[in-house]
Amino acid sequence: MGRWSRELAPRFVEWLEVPEDAHWLDVGCGTGALTAAICGLANPASVVGCDPAETYIQYARTHWSSECASFEIGGTGSLPSRHGGFGSVTSLLALNFFPDPDRSISEMKDVTATDGTISSCVWDYSDRMEFLRLFWDAALRVDPKAAELDEGSRFPICEPNDLTSLFREAGLRSVRCEPLDIATDFASFDEYWKPFLGGPGPAPSYVASLDGEARTALQNHLDETLPRDSDGSIRLIAGAWAVRGRVD
């Protein structure tokens, strides 16, 4: 997923249209993809990336060197703050993993400056995040129990009506929620399939839980049904929803 988040991050930053010289807070920064995009595109005064996972923060500090960026251990419940607040408090591909999104947005609001922007971007798991949607649709055909891990049903907040309601009910104004898409191209079926055989996340964990026969059945079903170009490549779309609102 990391390579796709690195492609989505610049699209999200450009969509936000935050004024230059703003102070940013990147909540749930992970390995720092969004912080790097902010530094590269938004001409910020500063960016603080925070994440509760120390390993992510160590990675970000090692791999993203910029005078405007810093990284701190912390997450919802212990967000960094600054005198006067941040002009932009944002989160990329993390909101649906927060235990209490309502409380998280409220806390983000508390550390945002007057007239500042709060924003988030999440994958459209139920529809336009195609390489995962096609995976889970295939898994459900060979194993109905796969529904328990399907992000499309696990994360109902990742759709525009719920995201808009979340931001409006937090008291934010000028709330907008719009789709962002990136291309996810795979040169072959093997390039598509191999990431599911290891690493973190619900889909690889599900594949690891299958016995050899069930794993082969899933692999074969995907191999037979995924759309192909004439050269054997698989060209899909990864869709996300971006939402933002202003603080009074």
Rounded CA-CA distance 178/173 in Å is: 16
Task: Annotate 175-214 with DSSP letters as a single string.
Answer: EEEEEEEEEEEESSHHHHHGGGGSSSSHHHHHHHHS-HHH
Residue pLDDT, tens place only, 113-128: 999 999 999 999 999 9
CB 75 within 8 A of CB 27: yes
For range 37-45, the mean pLDDT = 97
CB 203 within 8 A of CB 140: no
Whether 88 has a pLDDT exceeding 90, the answer reads yes
The whole-chain average pLDDT of the chain stands at 95
Q: What percent of the chain has pLDDT over 90?
A: 90
For range 157-164, the mean pLDDT = 97
Name the packing angle between helices 2-16 and 33-41 (round to 10°): 40
What band does 67 get if pLDDT is binned at 50, 70 and 90?
Answer: confident
What band does 92 get if pLDDT is binned at 50, 70 and 90?
Answer: very high
Q: Dihedral (C-alpha) 221, 1, 17, 126: value to the nearest 10 degrees?
A: 30
More confident residue, 107 or 145: 107
What band does 222 get if pLDDT is binned at 50, 70 and 90?
Answer: very high
Q: What are the residue ranges spanned by the domains of the chain?
A: 2-124+159-185+239-246, 126-153+188-232
CATH architecture group of domain 2-124+159-185+239-246: 3-Layer(aba) Sandwich (3.40)
Q: Give 148's DSSP letter.
A: G
In this prediction the pTM is: 0.93
